[in-house]
Amino acid sequence: MKNIIITFLVSICLCVNIFAQYGSEGSTDARSMSLGKTSNAISQGIYSIGINPANLLNSSSPVDFSTILPLPHLSVTGGTTFLTINNINYYFGAINGQGRVLTDNDKQNLNSLFNGGGLIFSNMSFTLFSFGLRLDPSIGAFGFSINDFIEGDFNVPQSISSLALYGNPLSDSIYTFDDSKFNAWWIRNYSLSYAREIPGVENGVLQKLSAGVSLKYYQGFAYVQSVQTNGNYFQTGSENQITLHSNYVVQSAFSSMFNVKYKDTTQSSGNSSSSNSVSGTPFPSPAGTGFGFDIGFTANLVDNWKVSLAVTDVGSITWNQNTAITTSQGQYTITDLTSKSLGDTLKSKFNGNSVTGGSFTTDLPTALRIGAAHEFYFNEGSFPGSLLLAMDINQGFNDEPGNSTKTRVSIGGEWKLANGVPYIRTGFSFGGLLGFRWGVGLGIEAGPLELNLATMDMESIVAPSSAKYLSIALDSRWMF
């Protein structure tokens, strides 16, 4: 199982060209990221795909599309919830070429950072292609996009830091690893979207009501999840022996491009434990497929108000190629830590055995999105330009990668001083999986071309040593 995890983590590092908006926590386009991942009521054209398909209609141009030129639609985020750059430099950095010797107080402070475990995460995004077309209002708008999604996270148990800092504990001590969970996948969707106005609903407040739907075909290229981790712990005895207890179950599936080889003791029929490598192709064979849909509504109200509601990524993926359930259950007592055969013994005991074949199903990162926005236009001689303010509430319905059942609220603002001057954007996100984050970014319109650049972590710019996360997003859109 170790080889499986390493293979996928290395692949994540190599596949930097992947991701788009999905789930309540997943990556997003650069404009939305700069607004603190605020997007539901203000998304426009192709940038509404994956957020709220009703907003396909909201674009000043009949046609918009994005490719890898001049800027790819790229988003990268990574970090931890417990260590800052300052922490890493202090506790793990070198002094005059030698490692720091930690005092008892240092050890206590470092260990406290891991209280409740610590999350390490990364995600990357890339839109291979997207296209939007707006026709007569009686016909509506159409959109198409191809998006990849990669996300991985690992929860580090506090016991690991305790063992590393304090060494072999006293007799009858127990260090549990039940919170050592990990989850990762790489999926792609092909999305076909449609939106149009709903006629005959206008009244004194409601000026326009739009509805949209996206139908999605998913391909899954890799999936790894710790299904069970309860019962993993480290225990010392009264005679200086150490007993290791293992009880984990890991579920996995991989495209043949990874050439994963399972340690299979049963070799179920209908599913090979290994396959030929086809790495290098932009369209690898999937390990699973599935279907999903988005549905959204947007109401334009008087006085430049807008409210939106959407439910996204309703559906599932069935994994049925190169699948396995890997388990390790049992215990082993170590009486001689100097034994030369100890490493081989532990590997044989706890490396895990895989049962290949069969299939399993995972839900998509289904989320509810509620948003509102108001645009202010200032009179000549007063505050210059225009100001757009927006707020979102995002609620995930599961904890699949890119999603969280913890409610996330965000607010954002976009100021346009004048034509030809870049948009200035900022926003804040609260709650969710990562808590408070501060986004900032710029947008440039140059004729038919729009360019956007953003980060979700202003702290990494103004106080990089105190930052826990690093993120960047950039994209370009052609409009005709």
Complete domains list, the chain, with CATH: 2-82+117-479 (2.40.160)
In angstroms, the CA 141 to CA 154 distance is: 41
Q: What is the DSSP letter of 3?
A: H
Joined tokens for residue 386: 């225009």
| CB-based contacts of 29, cutoff 8 Å, min separation 6 | 20, 21, 39, 47, 73, 75, 452, 473, 475
Digit-by-digit pLDDT tens for the chain (480 residues) are 444 444 444 444 433 333 345 678 876 789 999 999 999 999 999 999 999 999 999 888 999 999 988 998 888 888 888 888 888 888 877 776 677 788 888 888 888 887 767 788 888 888 989 999 999 988 999 999 999 988 888 888 777 777 667 665 556 667 677 777 788 899 999 999 999 999 988 888 999 999 999 999 999 999 998 887 776 666 766 666 677 777 778 899 999 888 887 766 554 433 444 444 445 678 889 999 999 999 999 999 998 999 999 999 999 999 999 999 888 776 766 655 555 555 555 555 556 677 888 899 999 999 999 999 999 887 665 667 889 999 999 999 998 888 899 999 999 999 998 888 999 999 999 999 888 999 999 999 998 999 999 999 998 888 888 888 889 999 999 999
pLDDT attached to residue 4:
47
* Number of C-beta neighbours around residue 240 at 10 A: 11
Residue 461 burial (10 A CB sphere; 0-12, 13-18, 19+): exposed
Q: Which amino acid is at 173?
A: S
> What is the C-alpha separation between 469 and 84, in angstroms, rounded?
8
CB atoms within 10 A of CB 401: 24
Residue 337 has φ and ψ, to the nearest 5°, of -70, -15
Look up residue 362 and give its amino acid. T
Using a 10 angstrom Cβ sphere, with 0-12 exposed, 13-18 middle and 19 or more buried, the burial of residue 183 is middle
Shortest CA distance to 354 belongs to which of 215, 261, 292? 261
Q: What is the pLDDT of residue 273?
A: 45
| Unique residue bearing structure tokens 């985020």 | 77
What does the alpha-carbon distance between residue 327 and residue 356 come to, in Å, rounded to a whole number?
11
Nearest to 437 by CA among 457, 413, 423: 457
Element (H, E) at 87: helix 85-92
Determine the pLDDT at residue 233: 64
- Rounded CA separation 450/45 (Å): 12
CA distances from 425 to 82, 428, 474 (A): 28, 11, 14
